[in-house]
Amino acid sequence: MTLKPKAKIRAVLADDHTVLRSGLKLLLDAQPDIQVVGEASRGEEAVERATQLCPDIVLMDLTMPGMNGLQAIAEIKKLMPACRVLVLTMHDDEAYLRQSLAAGASGYILKQAADSELLSALRAVYRGEVFLPPALTKTLVDSLVRPPARPPGRQADGLSPRETEVLRLVAMGHTNQEIAELLVLSVKTVETHKARIMDKLLLRSRSELVRYAIREGLVTIGKDPDS
């Protein structure tokens, strides 16, 4: 009696960096139980590939041109609830982890993670488990037990419209150069706006800026920061 070959995990890669996608494809296709069936460089493409190819898992970056990763996750889960999404990102931040899980992601892994950890994460998500980085898991649990206090400085209405827009784009993961291009400003002007925002809100780091923007509702799933 001939045994039927085990079904492979069908994956779609969504990342705007071609070199990274190529490396991921080589890594995943080299595994006996994984097959890359499609690729996307934009959020809209990720949704299209998911609906066309019906993969088991979409490996999703958060920062992409056009529709961002959070929006794409929410759309994929709305159209294809059975499709699982594993976020692969550079954002080592509990705020992004929270939004990814709220959008419907089943796992969250950092791009600097070892290849073996990525493979473990992908297989765990395929089995129906949730995979989170240990460091961020501790931060998430701590924040649930002890919610962060609201910043003692002035709230969002203390910012100018331009500063609010810069804050929203920072929270969505855009670089200074990308923000400058989107708002038709110089990089130095963007840096000045960020410094003023942090001074007004009494914040000290980019992570605190992101948490503040999410907490104040300046960044929401399904809403383009440019709209």
Domains assigned to the chain: 9-144 (3.40.50.2300), 156-215 (1.10.10.10)
pLDDT score at 214 = 72
For residue 33, the SS3 value is coil
State both tokens at 161: 């419209």
pLDDT score at 178 = 84
CB 151 within 8 A of CB 202: yes
pLDDT along the chain (227 residues), means of 10: 69 94 94 96 95 96 88 93 93 81 89 85 91 69 48 56 86 82 88 90 79 71 41
pLDDT score at 219 = 61
